[in-house]
Amino acid sequence: MIWIGIPKVCTNSIGSALYEWATGSEVRGVAAAALGRQKYGAQLAAAEVATLNRGTYRFAFVRNPLERLESLFRNRIGDPRTATAHHTTVAYRAYGLAPGMRFEAFVRAIAKIRDRDAETHFRSQSCFLTHRGRLTVDYLGRFESLNLDWNVLADRFGFPKLPRLNSTRKRMATPSSCTRRTAEMAAERYAGDIARFGYDAVVQDFIDSL
C-alpha cells in the first residue's frame, strides 16, 4: 500500500494516522506525520508509481487548486510565524516569492513558473498523479469530503480516524488583495487540475463572486 501525498492536501493528518496504524502508537503531531510520510508516502515520480506491481494499492487526495494555493500563501507567505522560516526565505526567493508580498503578486509569480521548475507545494497535483494522461492511483479522495473519503480507506485497511493537524478553513478565505483577475490567473495556471479533478463549477462560482 502506498499513499501519494500531495503538499497542502492534509499530509500531516494522513501521515500521522498512518503512523498510528502501523505502530499502534497514539503519538500524534508533526513528528509522527513525518514518520508516516516516510514509511508510506511515495517519494516517486508519477512514471515510477505507474510501474509498481499491480498488487500495490495506491491512493491519494486532491484539493480545489485555488484553495490549495491560498493555503500555501497563508502558511508560507502571509503568516509571520512561518513565513520567515529558512526554507521559505532562501528557497522561495529564487522563485520571486517573499514573506509579506501581496496575494496578487504571489499569484502572478506562481503563474509564470512551469510545473517542471516548480517547488512541490505549488506544482500541479496532476504531476503527482498522472502518467501519459492516466491516473496512477487506485483510489482518489477529496479534501472537501476528507472524512467520508478517508472512511472508505479506513474500512478497507483498518486505519484510525484522522487527527486534526494544521487544519484550515474548508472554504477559501479570500485575501484582501484578491481580485477577479487574480483568481482568473490562478485558475489559468491550474486549469489542468481544475478540469481533471472536477473543480470547474466551484472555481467558476468563486470567480463570479468577486
pLDDT digits (tens, 9 = 90+) for 94-119: 899 988 889 999 999 999 999 999 99
pLDDT at 44 over 70: no
4-37 pLDDT per residue, tens: 999 999 988 898 888 888 888 766 666 666 666 6
Ordered DSSP codes for 15-52: HHHHHHHHH-----SHHHHHHHHHHHB--S-HHHHHTS
Q: In what order do the strands lie in the sheet with 58-62?
A: 2-4, 58-62, 139-142
Quick one: DSSP state of residue 156?
Answer: H
170-200 pLDDT per residue, tens: 445 555 568 999 999 999 999 999 999 999 9
List, in sequence order, every beta strand (DSSP E) within 73-123: none
pLDDT at 129 over 70: yes
Give the integer Cα–Cα distance in Å for 64 and 10: 12
Give the integer Cα–Cα distance in Å for 6 and 118: 14
What Cα–Cα distance (Å) separates residue 39 from each residue in 23, 32, 35?
A: 11, 11, 6
Name the residue with cell 487548486.
Answer: 65
What Cα–Cα distance (Å) separates residue 7 from each residue in 61, 71, 206?
A: 10, 10, 23
Which has more confidence, 43 or 146?
146
For the chain, domain boundaries = 2-208
In this prediction, residues 160-171 reach a mean pLDDT of 67
Give the integer Cα–Cα distance in Å for 86 and 196: 34
Which has more confidence, 152 or 164?
152
pLDDT at 87 over 80: no
Give the integer Cα–Cα distance in Å for 146 and 148: 6
* Phi, psi values for residue 59, rounded to 5°: -140, 160
pTM: 0.88
